[in-house]
Amino acid sequence: MAELRVPTLQHLARNWRMNSQMIAKALVRLAENPPLFNYNPLYGAVRDLLILGVPYEQVEAGIRKIKREKVRNNLLSILPLVRDHFSGLHPDFFQVVERRYYPVGRGLMVPFEPPMIYGIGGQLYFPWFSFWRSNPLADERLSLFVTLVEEVLLQDPDLETAKFEILDFSAADSKSPRELRIIDARDVPRLSEERKTKMLDIFAEGYLKAVEDLAGRRSPSSKDQPDNRPDPDQPSFPF
């Protein structure tokens, strides 16, 4: 039987729909067609470039060792943008932030794990990486994500002054190359408490419907399963 994992905050926002039934369908589809890779090598590349001072050519060579061509090319399309953004920065410190959980409702605790924070000249920076090629967070979904993240950050006095930026590495269309768009979270409208609560209630209801739907299905035998692997650029949970 397909397994539905609890989404991260970013994936909660990405998979939010106008009603719970649409959310359930999206989550079931995702559970039945999980992604076959994640972007973890790029987080390692950021640390190598930003903190350890590893030459770019060496970092690139490491990515080129990935065997699957589609995965390798996807990562290599992002790596130069990562290099250009962090080029010339010399952090005074760098650290990983421990995982936190946001209570969505109905017993659903959604994980939130910032990839890193770093400080330069007394200013704390919190970059959030969005590696989706298409359909990045926008409009109300983006507001939902930023609103929730801000609540989590404000719970920690060590992080409440951090400069929160979203690094969006998407492309304008399927034929265009990726570009880096930097979104200052201060420019993103926040949701009202009423609207946020309503959106979270809808998501929690959709998630529980998806769990029930998957529990009621029988897993087909391997010979009956279609050989259609999911596109890694589609909404996914990067575990």
Q: Where are the domains of the chain?
A: 9-221
pTM exceeding 0.85: yes
Rounded mean pLDDT, 113-140 = 94
Question: Would the pLDDT of 92 be above 80?
Answer: yes
Q: How confident is the model at residue 114 (pLDDT cuts 50, 70, 90)?
A: confident
**φ, ψ of residue 166 in degrees (nearest 5):** -105, 120
What's the pLDDT at 26? 95
Q: Residue 41's pLDDT is what?
A: 93
Average pLDDT over residues 58-81: 95
The per-residue pLDDT for range 14-43, each reduced to its tens digit, is 999 999 999 999 999 999 988 888 899 999
Ranges of H-type helices in the chain: 9-14, 20-32, 40-47, 56-64, 69-86, 139-154, 193-215
Angle of CA points 81, 85, 86, to nearest 5°: 120
Q: Are 34 and 237 in contact (CB under 8 A)?
A: yes
Residue 137 burial (CB < 10 Å; 0-12/13-18/19+)?
buried
- Topology given in CATH for the domain delimited by 9-221: Lambda Exonuclease; Chain A (3.90.320)
